[in-house]
Structure 1
């Protein structure tokens, strides 16, 4: 089993516990709402959440992580979810729901 497949299983498990949205994509895995993507699983098997700037800054400080990159590009407002949090599903679900709430607060695209 590859890291990407293991992370995909975790990502799907997290999204399945959030009734307001569904996982999208076949090769590029993501969630979106209101015209914005708000979580991603990149080809490196890394998960990123889109968060408001103050929440993102605190997340990066609290969990010793940084910005999220996909296809070599820094993703605006995204934080890299560190693998050390992969076992804390409740925390990840909370941040995934915060990510959803953030894009729902933006003007629709």
Structure 2
């Protein structure tokens, strides 16, 4: 069975967030994401929640500031990911800051070997 795509409104928000950082490229068809060197660093699953991957200190600070819990996908906790609260989509400079933080963190991750 094919995955259910996220709600259209949420996908448009994700597209907007990605557009704030020119180096980011949205990928996927039913599960939308960005990746670099084989490492996914932003994600939106069928639930329509946008998650970003952050380094340890930024992750902890973000969770404390926005009082968000774990980001889950198919019942599993996605380590290093935080769900973006809806309020951030109304604050472009802050949204851009967090998207850039995630992109910058992705640059520090070791490349994953290709499966081809």
Q: Within the alignment, does 1:66 sit opposite 2:69 as a pair?
A: yes
Relative to its length, the structure with more strand (as a share) is 1
* Displacement after TM superposition at 1:75 (Å): 0.4
CA distance in 1, matches of 2:14, 2:58: 21
Alpha-carbon offset, residue 89 of structure 1: 2.3
2:105 is the counterpart of 1:94: no
Q: Does 1:14 align with 2:32?
A: no
- Larger Rg: 1 or 2? 2
2:46 maps to 43
Q: What is the TM-score normalised by the length of structure 1?
A: 0.91
State the distance in 2 between where 1:89 and 1:66 align: 23
The total of aligned residue pairs comes to 107
In structure 1, stretches of 5+ residues that fail to align are none
Partner Cα separation in structure 1 for residue 73 and residue 91 of structure 2: 23
* CA deviation vs aligned residue, 1:11-55 (integer Å, no higher than 9, x gap): 101111211121000101000012100001111110100000110
RMSD of aligned residue pairs (Cα, Å):
1.3
Does structure 1 residue 26 correspond to structure 2 residue 29? yes
